[in-house]
C-alpha cells in the first residue's frame, strides 16, 4: 500500500504522526511501535495499521515486530568522573540491573554538541530509554532529545530540569538547600557573603535583574542555587552586592581568582558559599594564597559533600545530595514508563541535607 499523503511533513513519519493517524495517545503509539509495555489488541491493531498507512517502516516497526527491546538504558551526564555523577550512576545502575536492564553511560562535559552526538549514539544502539542530565537550556537546543522521543525512546531528566521539555525530572531542593546554607552563615553574623559560582556570563551583570536574567538562560541548578542565596539575603535585609557573585567560566581557577578579588575588596567577604566541588577547592586555594584560614578569617559552606570534605582540617560544612537516590528514582521512573505507565511529566524533588561540621564561625572582630 503506498504511503499516505503526509502533507508538508518531511522525513520518515514520526511516532506522533502515527498516533494522530491512529487516534491514540503518543505514549500508546510509542509502546506499540517500541515493543514495550501493555497495549490493548484493538489499539495495537489501529497503531500498526496507521504505521503501515504512513509508511512507518523504519527500525522502530521492525524492532517492535522482533523482541523490540534491548533491555538497555542510556545515561548521559556531564562527567562520570565527578563524584556527584558517579553516585547518581551507581543508583541508576543498581536499580536498572535489579529489573533486568543494562546501562550505557556517556560523558558530555556540559558541551551541547557532545550531548547531541551521545544521544545519537544511544539511538543507534537502540537503547530502550534515556536518562539525561542535559546541558540544554534553550528551546532551540532540545531537538536531539525530541528526536529520541519520536523514535519511541522515553527520556527522563535527572539533576536539572529543562524549561522547554515537558518531561519527568528527578532533582533536589536546590533553592531551599542554598537558602538554608546562607542563612546559617548569616546567623553566624556574616553579611558579606561571596557566591561561587553564578551563571557563565561574559561580563558581570550590574544588577540583580540582569543576573537573574542571565541565570535563567543557563543550567537550572545554578539558577536555583543563586535564587536561594538571594532569598536568604532578602530575608535578612542584607543588600545584594553584584561584586560578591562570581560569573564567567565555571572552573576551579576562575573560582580562585574571584575569591581572591572578593578578599581584596575594601569591605571584603567574611564568608563564601560554593555551589560545586570545584568552587570549594578554588575558594580554598584563594584562602591559602592570601594566608587566610577558615573559619577564623572566612567562613565556608559548599555543595556536594564528599569523603574528603569530612576529613579536611577543620572538616567542611557541606550540602549533601542524595546521589544514589537521585539515580535510583530516575531509573525507577523510566522503567515504569517502559512497563507501560503513562509519563507523569512532573518534577520529582528529593531532599538534600546540610551536614554541619566546622567551617563556619562568627566573623573575626575588625
Shortest spacing between CB 120 and ligand RIB, in angstroms:
23
Number of residues in contact with ligand RIB under rule CB under 6 A: 9
Piece of 77-85, 124-132, 145-153, 185-193 that binds ligand RIB (CB under 6 A)? 77-85
CB of 221 within 8 A of CB of 178? no
Length of the chain: 366
Q: Which is nearer to ligand RIB, 17 or 276 (CB)?
A: 276
H or E segment and range at residue 19: helix 15-22
Q: Which is nearer to ligand RIB, 36 or 303 (CB)?
A: 303
Phi-psi region of 124 (alpha: psi -120 to 50; beta: other; left: phi over 0): alpha
Shortest spacing between CB 276 and ligand RIB, in angstroms:
5
Residue 90 in grid coordinates: 551507581
| Contact pick of 21, 115, 128, 159 for ligand RIB (by CB under 6 A) | 159
Shortest spacing between CB 98 and ligand RIB, in angstroms:
25
Q: Which is nearer to ligand RIB, 22 or 328 (CB)?
A: 328
**Pattern of binders to ligand RIB over 93-132, x per CB under 6 A?**
----------------------------------------
- One-character DSSP codes across 302-325: EES--HHHHHSSSPPEEEEP-HHH
Q: What is the DSSP letter of 131?
A: E
Query: Cell numbers 546562607 correspond to what residue?
Result: 182
Instruction: Based on the shown chain and the rule CB under 6 A, indicate whether residue 303 belongs to the binding site for ligand RIB.
Output: yes
Instruction: Based on the shown chain and the rule CB under 6 A, indicate whether residue 276 belongs to the binding site for ligand RIB.
Output: yes
Q: Which is nearer to ligand RIB, 212 or 350 (CB)?
A: 350
Piece of 78-86, 121-129, 230-238, 344-352 that binds ligand RIB (CB under 6 A)? 78-86
**Pattern of binders to ligand RIB over 210-249, x per CB under 6 A?**
-----------x----------------------------
Instruction: Based on the shown chain and the rule CB under 6 A, indicate whether residue 195 belongs to the binding site for ligand RIB.
Output: no
Closest CA to 362 of 262, 280, 295: 295
Extract the runs of DSSP E, i.e. beta strands, from 143-223: 155-158, 169-172, 193-196
Residue 319's φ and ψ, nearest 5 degrees, are -95, 125
| 334 prior amide bond cis, ω within 30 | no
| Contact pick of 258, 304, 305, 332 for ligand RIB (by CB under 6 A) | 304
Shortest spacing between CB 304 and ligand RIB, in angstroms:
5
Residue 125 in grid coordinates: 544502539
| Contact pick of 82, 243, 257, 325 for ligand RIB (by CB under 6 A) | 82
* Cβ-based neighbour number of residue 296 at 10 Å: 11
Residue 275 in grid coordinates: 555551589
Closest CA to 156 of 224, 76, 101: 76
CB of 24 within 8 A of CB of 47? yes
Piece of 76-84, 186-194, 226-234, 262-270 that binds ligand RIB (CB under 6 A)? 76-84
Instruction: Based on the shown chain and the rule CB under 6 A, indicate whether residue 305 belongs to the binding site for ligand RIB.
Output: no
The residues of the shown chain that bind ligand RIB, judged by CB under 6 A, are 78, 82, 84, 159-160, 221, 276, 303-304
Amino acid at each position: 500500500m503506498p504511503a499516505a499523503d503526509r502533507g508538508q511533513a518531511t522525513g520518515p513519519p514520526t511516532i506522533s504522526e502515527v498516533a494522530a493517524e491512529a487516534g491514540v495517545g503518543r505514549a500508546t503509539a510509542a509502546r506499540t511501535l517500541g515493543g514495550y509495555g501493555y497495549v490493548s489488541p484493538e489499539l495495537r491493531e489501529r497503531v500498526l495499521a496507521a504505521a503501515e498507512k504512513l509508511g512507518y517502516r523504519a527500525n522502530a516497526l521492525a524492532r517492535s515486530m522482533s523482541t523490540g527491546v534491548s533491555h538497555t538504558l542510556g545515561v548521559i551526564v556531564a562527567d562520570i568522573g565527578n563524584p556527584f555523577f558517579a553516585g547518581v550512576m551507581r543508583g541508576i545502575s543498581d536499580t536498572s540491573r535489579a529489573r533486568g536492564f543494562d546501562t550505557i553511560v556517556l560523558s558530555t562535559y556540559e558541551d551541547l554538541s557532545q550531548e547531541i552526538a551521545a544521544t545519537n549514539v544511544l539511538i543507534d544502539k537502540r537503547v530502550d530509554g534515556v536518562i539525561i542530565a542535559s546541558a540544554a537550556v534553550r528551546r532551540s537546543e532540545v531537538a536531539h532529545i525530541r528526536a529520541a522521543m519520536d523514535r519511541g525512546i522515553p527520556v527522563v531528566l535527572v539533576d536539572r530540569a529543562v524549561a522547554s521539555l515537558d518531561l519527568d525530572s528527578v532533582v533536589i531542593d536546590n533553592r531551599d538547600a542554598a537558602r538554608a546554607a546562607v542563612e546559617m552563615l548569616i546567623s553566624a553574623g556574616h553579611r558579606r557573603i561571596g557566591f561561587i559560582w553564578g551563571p557563565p556570563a561574559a561580563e558581570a551583570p550590574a544588577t540583580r535583574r540582569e543576573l537573574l536574567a542571565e541565570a535563567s538562560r543557563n543550567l537550572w541548578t545554578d539558577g536555583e542555587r543563586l535564587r536561594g542565596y538571594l532569598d536568604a539575603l532578602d530575608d535578612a535585609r542584607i543588600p545584594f552586592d553584584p561584586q560578591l557573585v562570581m560569573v564567567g567560566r565555571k572552573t576551579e581557577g576562575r573560582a580562585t581568582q574571584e575569591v581572591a578579588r572578593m578578599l581584596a575588596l575594601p569591605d571584603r567577604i567574611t564568608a563564601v558559599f560554593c555551589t560545586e566541588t570545584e568552587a570549594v577547592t578554588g575558594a580554598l586555594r584563594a584562602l591559602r594564597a592570601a594566608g587566610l584560614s577558615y573559619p577564623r578569617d572566612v567562613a565556608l559552606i559548599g555543595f556536594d559533600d564528599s569523603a574528603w570534605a569530612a576529613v579536611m582540617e577543620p572538616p567542611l560544612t557541606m550540602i549533601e545530595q542524595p546521589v544514589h537516590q537521585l539515580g535510583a528514582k530516575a531509573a525507577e521512573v523510566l522503567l515504569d514508563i517502559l512497563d507501560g505507565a503513562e509519563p507523569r511529566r512532573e518534577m520529582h524533588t528529593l531532599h538534600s541535607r546540610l551536614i554541619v561540621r566546622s567551617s563556619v564561625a562568627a566573623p573575626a572582630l575588625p
